[in-house]
Amino acid sequence: MTRLVDLPTQEHMLPGNRACAGCSLGIGLRSILKALDGKAVMTVPASCLTVIGGMYPTSSVTVPWLNVAFPGCAAAAAGLAAGLRATGRDREMTVLAMAGDGGTADIGIQALSGAAERNDDFIYVCYDNEAYMNTGTQRSGLTPAGARTTTTMLGKRENPKDMCRIMEAHGIPYVASTSAVFPDDVYDKLARARTLRGLRYVHMNTPCPSGWSFEPRDSVTVGQLAVDTGLVVLFEVEGGVFRLTGRSKTLAKRGKRPPVADYLATQGRFKGMSPEAATEIQRWVDGRWAEYLRRDAAGATT
C-alpha cells in the first residue's frame, strides 16, 4: 500500500478551478490522475466534475477531456476505447469515464450497463456525492435514507442503490469502492485497475460541504467518519474475489465501529431525523457490514 507521503509529486490538475472551497472531488481527482500517470483521456457528463474541467477556452486539468451528454458517459468512453484500439494506441493511454452518482446510477446506467455487458476497455469512476449537487442538491438513486435534499424536504425514505453489486452482477473484471478522502486507497485501486483490461468500475464516496451542510474544513473528517462507521466500505472485487482494503480492513480486524449517529450528527442534511430512523439506518449498515465481513472471510480462503 502506497503511503500518503510517497504519492507522486507530478500533478495533472491546476489550481484556481471553479469547484467549491473544500470540495473533496479535488482530492480524489488528483489521486486518480496520478495513478494513471496523466496518460488518460476522460469523458465527463454534466456533473460537478465539469466545473473542475472549466469553461472554454481554459481548463484546469492537463489531460484530454471530452464533455458529453448526460446519459452517454460510458457510451462515449466505449467509442474512445474502440478508436484507440483501432489506431493501436490503446496501450498508450487509459480511457477514464467519470460521472457523478446521478450520471451513473440514474441517468447513465443504461450506457454503463451496456458497456459492462460488452466488457469495453475503460475505467469508469463514479464519484458519489449522494445527490445532484451541480444543479442544487436534488435527490438521486444514491442519496442515503434520511438525507434532506431540495426534492426530499423531510428526508429521503428509500435506501440507496448498491451500485457496486449491480456492477459485480455484470461479471466485469474489477469493481472497487473507495473514498476521495483516502487518497492512498484511491491511488492503489486506480493503479491496480490500470493494469487490467475490460471494464473496471470504481465507486468513490465524495463528501460535499455545500450539499451535505457541513463546514468546508470538515470534508476529510466527515469522509473518514463515513468509513469508520461502516456507511462507506473500502473494498475491491477482482476476478470475483472480494477483499476489504485500508481503513475498512483495519476496522474489520478491530471488530468495533463508532455508531452511525456520530456521522449523522456532523451534517445538516440529517438534522431533525427521528431516533427511530437513525436506528433503522444503523440496522441497515450493520446488516451490510456483516455481509462484507462474510465475503471478506470467504475471499481470504479462495
Q: Which 8-67 residues touch other proteins, going by CB under 8 A? A: 9, 11, 13-27, 30, 53-62, 65
Contact with other proteins (CB under 8 A) among 89, 217, 271, 283? 217
Q: Which 99-158 residues touch other proteins, going by CB under 8 A? A: none
Stretch near other proteins under the rule CB under 8 A, chosen from 126-134, 209-217, 226-234, 264-272: 209-217
User: CB burial class (10 A; 0-12, 13-18, 19+) of residue 278?
Assistant: middle
| 187, 5 Cβ separation under 8 angstroms | no
Confirm or reject binding of residue 173 to other proteins (CB under 8 A): no
- By beta-carbon proximity to other proteins, the closer residue of 23 and 133 is 23
- By beta-carbon proximity to other proteins, the closer residue of 215 and 291 is 215
Please report the sign of the dihedral spanned by the C-alpha atoms of residue 93, residue 94, residue 95, residue 100.
Answer: negative
3-state secondary structure 121-155: CCEEEEEECCCECCCCCECCCCCCCCCCECCECCC
Stretch near other proteins under the rule CB under 8 A, chosen from 5-13, 141-149, 238-246, 283-291: 5-13
Confirm or reject binding of residue 251 to other proteins (CB under 8 A): no
Stretch near other proteins under the rule CB under 8 A, chosen from 113-121, 169-177, 217-225, 250-258: 217-225
Quickly tell me which residue has 486506480 as its cell: 190
User: What is the phi-psi region of residue 24: left when phi exceeds 0, alpha when psi lies from -120 to 50, beta otherwise?
Assistant: alpha
Contact with other proteins (CB under 8 A) among 198, 216, 259, 299? 216
Confirm or reject binding of residue 96 to other proteins (CB under 8 A): no
3-state secondary structure 189-251: HHHHHHHCCCCEEEEEECCCHHHHCCCHHHHHHHHHHHHHHCCCCCEEEECCEEEECHHHHHH
Min. distance of Cβ 105 from other proteins in angstroms?
24
- By beta-carbon proximity to other proteins, the closer residue of 31 and 104 is 31
Min. distance of Cβ 228 from other proteins in angstroms?
15
Min. distance of Cβ 21 from other proteins in angstroms?
4
- By beta-carbon proximity to other proteins, the closer residue of 67 and 282 is 67
Min. distance of Cβ 291 from other proteins in angstroms?
31
Quickly tell me which residue has 469512476 as its cell: 125
**Rounded distance between C-alpha atoms, residue 147 and residue 128, angstroms:** 14
Confirm or reject binding of residue 262 to other proteins (CB under 8 A): no
**Rounded distance between C-alpha atoms, residue 57 and residue 175, angstroms:** 35
Min. distance of Cβ 211 from other proteins in angstroms?
15
**Rounded distance between C-alpha atoms, residue 211 and residue 151, angstroms:** 12
- By beta-carbon proximity to other proteins, the closer residue of 12 and 156 is 12
Contact with other proteins (CB under 8 A) among 50, 210, 213, 221? 221
**Rounded distance between C-alpha atoms, residue 119 and residue 135, angstroms:** 31
> What are the backbone angles phi and psi of residue 110, rounded to the nearest 5°?
-70, -40
Q: How many of the chain's residues bind other proteins (CB under 8 A)?
A: 42
- Interface with other proteins (CB under 8 A): 4-5, 7, 9, 11, 13-27, 30, 53-62, 65, 181, 183, 209, 215-221
